[in-house]
Amino acid sequence: MKRRDFIRAAGVGLPAATVLAAPAIAQERPEIRWRMTSHAPRSLDTIFGSADYFAKKLSEITEGRFQIETFAAGEIVGALQGLEAAQNNTVECAQTCSFYFVGRDPAFAFGTSLPFALNTRTLNAWHYGEGMDLLNDFYSGYNIYGLPFGNTGTQTGGWFRREISSVSDLNGLKYRIGGLAGQIMAKLGVVAQQIPGADIYPALERGTIDGAEWIGPYDDERLGLQKVAPYYYYPGWWEGGTTIHLFINLDAWNSLPESYQSALKVAAEAANQWMLVKYDNQNPGALRRLVESGAQLRPFSQEIMTASFEAAVDLYTETAATNENFRTLLESVSAYRDDALAWLQTAEYHYDTFTFRNRRNPLYRKS
């Protein structure tokens, strides 16, 4: 080839290698536009806010080439239709809670929070250990790929119109709660109710329900529930560390270049941390304000906690006997929990209990 022909083929003033590499770069970094539906309304600025944070982070990492537009509950599909929307590629991805779908298979509980199993830190560690691989083996049967996408921390036990001191107080109690927790409490006589968050206040005010669990102080404060159900119980043993999920249509996930899959994972991890940090910063002040405005803070009695735990064990035994997906995930979580608790009890438990006992010491607060 003559020199002038080589220059013409390569492009005026550009090395041939640059021109030849351009198509490969375009294939590795295509322009992609996705849509995400959320189970949360925009008013839940921490949960829905994490979706916006994720989309912004992903755009930054990919220099604007991978954009995801976020939609709140009801703007494309309903709050509890995220799985179906992602599964059928109505949208490419959905922000939702895996345990909303235990009606399809009780194994969906493990993605969010199994009652009396792992707390926030240990659930996060299990997810990023073998949990995500096991869950995605299960999720693949629903044509989705899942990633942890935020955590609320251990939730509160909810609001009640009257004091709840013993197991007998639960009998016939109409309580807003769903999923496996609802099934567990039903074993203790609770009449589990599933109603949207926006309907909790009027239902409590009218006496249609006797109590309701929501999220935690920061989000609960916005609903003003202490005005109609003053008794605020803890802990929410059914959500020891509530993981929000990103469900991605499996075909859409597999079509992404590896670099974009990695970028999406990094952005999801950032959103996972962002949500927990925001709740940890906002909940303390909100709890103080709730108590100051009349909330009666109460721990669940040991009688109720023990009875609930035993009912949970019974349910898990029954379910694992007939559901292989549930059994596989339960075995993994149980094995990890044994090791994790042994470590946490060795160091952090003693550290935390000492600081709890001494938090009122003036020297502890000395500037």
Q: What is the pLDDT of residues 113-167, one digit of tens each?
A: 999 999 999 999 999 999 999 999 999 999 999 999 999 999 999 999 999 999 9
Q: What is the pLDDT of residue 365?
A: 62
Measured CA to CA, the distance from residue 284 to residue 217 in angstroms comes to 8
Residues sharing a CB contact under 8 Å with residue 129, sequence separation 6 or more, in sequence order: 336
Give percent above pLDDT 70 in the chain.
91
pLDDT band at 316 (very low <50, low <70, confident <90, very high): very high
pLDDT band at 61 (very low <50, low <70, confident <90, very high): very high
Q: Euclidean distance between the first and final Cα of the chain, in Å?
A: 78
Q: In this model, does residue 21 exceed pLDDT 60?
A: no
User: Are 116 and 181 contacting, i.e. CB atoms less than 8 angstroms apart?
Assistant: no
Hey, what CATH topology would domain 3-153+241-281 get? Answer: D-Maltodextrin-Binding Protein; domain 2 (3.40.190)
Higher pLDDT, 238 or 11: 238
Tally the C-alpha atoms within 13 A of residue 266's C-alpha that lie toward its C-beta: 13
Q: In this model, does residue 24 exceed pLDDT 60?
A: no
Name which of 94, 52, 50 is nearest 271 in CA terms: 50
Measured CA to CA, the distance from residue 2 to residue 10 in angstroms comes to 12
Q: Which two tokens stand for residue 25?
A: 């770069």
Q: In this model, does residue 8 exceed pLDDT 90?
A: no
Mean pLDDT, to the nearest integer, of 238-258?
Answer: 97
Q: How many residues does the chain have?
A: 367
Q: Which two tokens stand for residue 237?
A: 């043993």
Helix axes 324-346, 348-357, angle to 10 degrees: 60
How many of the other CB atoms lie within 10 Å of CB of 62? 19
pTM of the model: 0.89
Q: What is the pLDDT of residue 15?
A: 42
Q: What is the pLDDT of residue 179?
A: 85
How many of the other CB atoms lie within 10 Å of CB of 89? 13
Higher pLDDT, 106 or 19: 106
Higher pLDDT, 2 or 186: 186
Q: In this model, does residue 12 exceed pLDDT 80?
A: no
Q: What is the pLDDT of residue 22?
A: 45
Backbone angles phi, psi at 294, to 5 degrees: 120, -5
Q: What is the pLDDT of residue 281?
A: 98
Backbone angles phi, psi at 127, to 5 degrees: -55, -50
Question: Mean pLDDT of all residues in the chain?
Answer: 91
Q: In this model, does residue 5 exceed pLDDT 60?
A: no
Q: In this model, does residue 2 exceed pLDDT 90?
A: no
Cis peptide before 235 (omega within 30 of 0): yes
Q: In this model, does residue 18 exceed pLDDT 50?
A: no
